[in-house]
A and B are shown apart, each in its own frame.
Chain A
Amino acid sequence: MITALSGTVPVPTVRWVDDDAMWFPEPALVYSWEPGVTKPARAQSKIAGIGINFGPGLRENLAGQFVDHLARIHTFDIEKAQLDSYQIPRTGSVESALWQLNRARRVWEEDRGEDLPLLDLAAEWLEHNLPILDRVSLVHGDYRGGNFLFDEDTGRITTILDWERSHLGDRHRDLAWATLYPFGHLSEDGNQFLATGLLPVAEFFDRYEQASGLTVDPDRLRFYRILNGYQAIVTAYGSAYRVSKLGKSHQDVLLTGLESTGNLIAHQLVKDLEEVL
């Protein structure tokens, strides 16, 4: 995926792929070191670059690139690329949404240390409201502030990182992800919520439609907003707990801090489900 996108959007160069975990404990890839920062030197954010405040100066410059790059990713011609490892969901079917839901449900079953009725409810609503796919797009899977590098002097995005959740599917998955509650913050005047700290949500969708020529469907957006909330809580409450409990990474202590982020998403998930039930 990363190699295929070279020349379309800024991505690192892939050096080695250990897809059978021959050299590393888990399947892994090593890509080139790229210049840039994830946040301004003086900016505060939570762990993993979540909730970055870029400040008004950088914001406008980054916002345009953020939208344009996403549009290019979603309109990338997948027929031209060698993406043999990726399953292609059928348009006119619910496969894309169902595969993503099943993946998240399986992770919850394997990783959780508790039961959470809110997630049981969300999974059922999602399963009963799967949207039909209108177009297969290349989906980044974790497209937000903190997952791209930029040059602080010029404000130019130098590379897009963290493609581990990339897949072929519905563009609304990325669009809804970038507007998740903990990834953004209120504008300085307190009047508008800025998606991933960059631009108001409605403006984000307007500019995306102009840049991509694709539509933003409110119904699909709502489904993926709920699916993303479900998936993010699975990561924060389930996977982070399991990884840190088992001492699986050098970031265990940081992972325990994801619980607070998970709760903010749960807070939003309650609101989102109240709108549809």
Chain B
Amino acid sequence: MADKIANAFDAAARSLRTIVAPVVDENDSLASEQLRVVAGMLDFYRDRIAYEYPRKAYELSVYCTLADRLLREFPDAAAGLADALRTARAVADQPLAEYAALDHAVSELTREIGTFTHAAWDHDAGTGAAVGRLVLGESRRLTDLRRSWFLPQGGDPAPDSVVPLASLLALESEHLTVSIPQE
């Protein structure tokens, strides 16, 4: 089936490179640089746009896991975190939740996790550290995901250690209610 979104991105980038670039003053280094950056950005999002929804769903899944682990480990946590988790799960479990709903659930959950983290350190450093270890465990999954996401930009000092985005999301798909496109 024709991928019209990718086609549109391709056409836009090609337009910049073949029509616009030749008439930009080569002595205008700022314009030349930004033209190159914008065209590259169109290439990047052409290849990434199909994964944005699964990525957001994955992000929500990770934060739901973190909130759940925090609540199991610290059952006396403030009600705000439990409420946010309940709401987030209701969104995450919908087969076709709107993107904005996923995004909003992530925002609510991360704010409550942050509040909980600060409260834990205020209580005592030992509790803070215990909460911190749980936060780090799930944060690593998210930084791994983002390394995969940004891999085509070429800035990773150790690219061979990065799992391709489609593979990473597919590995995690059992936790998601969305299908993963192939790269």
Contacts and interface: CB of A to CB of B under 8 A. Distances in A.
A255 B42 CA distance: 16
A167 interface: no
Interface stretch (B7-15, B86-94, B135-143, B169-177): B135-143
Interface stretch (B18-26, B30-38, B50-58): B30-38
A118 B158 CA distance: 22
A115 interface: yes
B121 A124 contact: yes
A125 B127 CA distance: 12
Given A115-B111, A273-B132, A253 B38 contact: yes
A120 B118 contact: yes
Contacts of B155: 46, 50-51, 182, 260-261, 264
B118 A270 contact: no
B45 to A, nearest CB: 11
Contacts of B131: 121
A266 B139 contact: yes
B156 interface: yes
B75 interface: no
A117 B153 contact: no
A118 B135 contact: yes
B37 A254 contact: yes
Measured as residues with beta carbon below 8 angstroms from the partner, the interface class of chain A is 35 or more
A230 B135 CA distance: 15
B114 interface: yes
Contacts of A270: 136, 139-140, 143
B114 A277 contact: no
A263 B157 contact: no
B107 A128 contact: no
B157 A117 contact: no
Contacts, number: 104
B157 A181 contact: yes
A270 B129 CA distance: 13
B128 interface: yes
A117 B110 contact: yes
Measured as residues with beta carbon below 8 angstroms from the partner, the interface class of chain B is 35 or more
A92 interface: no
Contact of B107 (A115, A125, A182): A115
Given A120-B113, A120-B118, A186-B157, A263 B143 contact: yes
B79 interface: no
B4 interface: no
A104 to B, nearest CB: 16
B125 A277 contact: no
B99 interface: no
A128 B135 CA distance: 17
B139 A51 contact: no
Contacts of B135: 117-118, 120-121
B134 to A, nearest CB: 10
A189 interface: no
Interface string B142-183: 111011001001011110000000000000000000000000
Interface in A243-270: 250, 253-254, 256-257, 259-261, 263-264, 266-267, 270
B110 A128 contact: no
Contacts of B139: 117-118, 121, 266, 270
Interface string A26-48: 00000000000000000000110
A182 B157 CA distance: 7
B66 interface: yes
Contact of B125 (A128, A184, A257, A273): A128
B41 A128 contact: no
A168 to B, nearest CB: 29
Contact of A124 (B34, B37, B117, B147): B117
6 contacts: A124-B117, A128-B125, A256-B41, A266-B139, A266-B143, A267-B140
Given A116-B114, A186-B157, A253-B41, 8 more contacts: A47-B37, A51-B155, A115-B107, A117-B114, A118-B139, A124-B117, A125-B121, A253-B37
